[in-house]
A and B are shown apart, each in its own frame.
Chain A
Amino acid sequence: MTEVTQPALTIDALGKKCPIPIIMLAEQINHVPLNAVVAVLADDPAAYTDVPAWCRLKSHPHVGTYELPGGGWAIHVRRNY
């Protein structure tokens, strides 16, 4: 975990169903500087697939998905533009 870039912003979407985590991410990614990382915390199984799919569609790199100790994931996205 030492190589994981510290996120500039963490979006807590735990307990929220898709597409809400994606809507929150789309709203807030522009709040961080270019090349900074946004972490989306989510536990809806759909988010596991949908956040990386959103990254592909919107050309923001999906940095990685890390399991959270309490369930769910921290899904890291780098702002590309």
Chain B
Amino acid sequence: MAYFDAASTEPLHPQAREAYLAALDVGWADPARLYNQARRAHMLLEQARTEVAEALGARPDEVSFTSSGTQAVHLGVLGTLHGRRRTGRHLVTSAVEHSSVLHAAGVHERDGGTVETVGVGLSGRVDLPAFTAAVAAEGTALACLQTASHEVGTLQPVAEAAAACREHGVPLLVDAAQTAGRLPMPEGWSVLTASAHKWGGPAGVGVLAVRKGTRFRSFLPEDERERRRVPGYENVPAIVAAAAALRAMSAEAAQENSRLSALVDRIRNTVPKIVPDVEVIGEPIERAPHIVTFSCLYVDGEVLLTELDKAGFAVSSGSSCTASTLRPSHVLEAMGVLTHGNVRVSLPRGASSAEVDRFLEVLPDMVRRIRQDAGVA
């Protein structure tokens, strides 16, 4: 089985597994208490915090652990808006943000706030002049921009967006879920969010980093944990494992990225040559190293995914038939690219060249048969 869905979740890194098992034994106590076992858990938690902070370019006291990347985004968006209520109630985001950003924006809107959603070009890159203009609007309390699209891999111009935000005194929330542990973090964020299971850590750990000086106030009932930013008891063993995975992934990134990126290039270049009527989607150069997305004309995405699964390939799709919502992916819609017959290949650490070769070997005939069965001449 070739697992090509790292953008959904990266398999647990062996070092994370090792750290997790060790921390289950020694880091289970309540880190907020004052006895030996608690001090040990506290020490492990703070060590993990320091490591994660260093890897993400933050200070340890800026970093809080959440129970997921989605929770980090919800808290980050709504907490910053809440903290800046007096400045204004306007939120700026791109049209291709993760659904957690868009749903938080929906809550803000229903609560009487305003939202401007900035469009993207055909490659999925945000319209920077429009984003800059939107940020400059009176009463803008927060802007949100991802580092890279989870669906098409396109990198966003975060540094430029951050400069525009700084100029207008607007905090920028950067959703780094797809690149944390793989690429260096961009400069200029005010709030940074990430998710450990995307970098080979366990599920159930997200990161919310709030830059010193950024006004932030949780909208949830008060809780003492995680510098009052995140309610609830920390999962110390999982956090320790998350930090171990981040350390390991970051250390391997330089070498592994160029290897995976070459495999992605091979898929990007080969697929249009061997499958007729295919659109390869997203930025060819300015992209995450491990993600490639394409759409096959006249092909039902669900049928293609099922066939690929039978042939031993785990991939994902933004086509509507594969989503619970019966709508195509909002990212593909915003880009204006084909939404049907969509396949996202996202390579995990260690994905082999032979697996990619086999994928390219089976794909053309598979697509041809699906088209034939649908009566396409």
Contact = CB atoms under 8 A, between A and B. Distances in A.
B193 interface: no
A70 B340 CA distance: 24
A73 B53 CA distance: 50
B374 A53 contact: no
A19 interface: yes
B320 A57 contact: no
Interface in A9-32: 17-20, 22-23, 26-27
Contacts of A50: 328, 338-340
A75 B190 CA distance: 43
Contact of A23 (B326, B336, B376): B376
Interface string A25-59: 01100000000000000001110111011101100
Contact of A49 (B279, B321, B333, B377): B333
A38 B277 CA distance: 21
B28 interface: no
A23 B339 contact: no
Interface stretch (B146-154, B171-179, B293-301): B293-301
Given A19-B299, A26-B298, A54-B297, A46 B320 contact: yes
Given A19-B298, A23-B298, A53 B327 contact: no
A45 B298 CA distance: 16
B337 interface: yes
Interface residues of A, number: 19
B221 interface: no
Interface in B329-377: 332-333, 336-341, 374-377
B123 interface: no
Contact of B319 (A22, A46, A53, A56): A46
Nearest to A44: B320
A46 B300 CA distance: 12
B98 to A, nearest CB: 19
B297 A49 contact: no
A19 B297 contact: yes
Among A17, A20, A23, residue most surrounded by chain B Cβ atoms (within 10 Å): A23
A26 B300 CA distance: 15
Interface residues of B, number: 24
B297 A22 contact: yes
B374 A19 contact: yes
Contacts of A27: 377
A48 B338 CA distance: 10
B277 A57 contact: yes
B377 A46 contact: no
Contacts of B320: 17-18, 44-46
B377 A18 contact: no
B80 to A, nearest CB: 32
A38 to B, nearest CB: 17
A53 B327 CA distance: 16
B152 to A, nearest CB: 14
A22 to B, nearest CB: 6
A17 B300 CA distance: 9
B277 A49 contact: no
Nearest to A22: B298
A17 B321 contact: yes
Contacts of B319: 18, 46
B339 A18 contact: yes
28 contacts: A17-B300, A18-B328, A19-B297, A19-B300, A19-B341, A22-B298, A23-B375, A23-B376, A26-B298, A27-B377, A44-B320, A45-B328, A46-B319, A46-B320, A46-B328, A46-B339, A49-B328, A49-B336, A49-B337, A50-B338, A50-B339, A53-B336, A53-B338, A54-B297, A56-B336, A57-B279, A57-B297, A57-B338
Given A57-B279, A57-B338, 14 more contacts: A18-B340, A19-B298, A19-B299, A19-B340, A22-B297, A22-B298, A23-B375, A46-B340, A49-B338, A50-B338, A50-B339, A53-B337, A53-B339, A57-B277
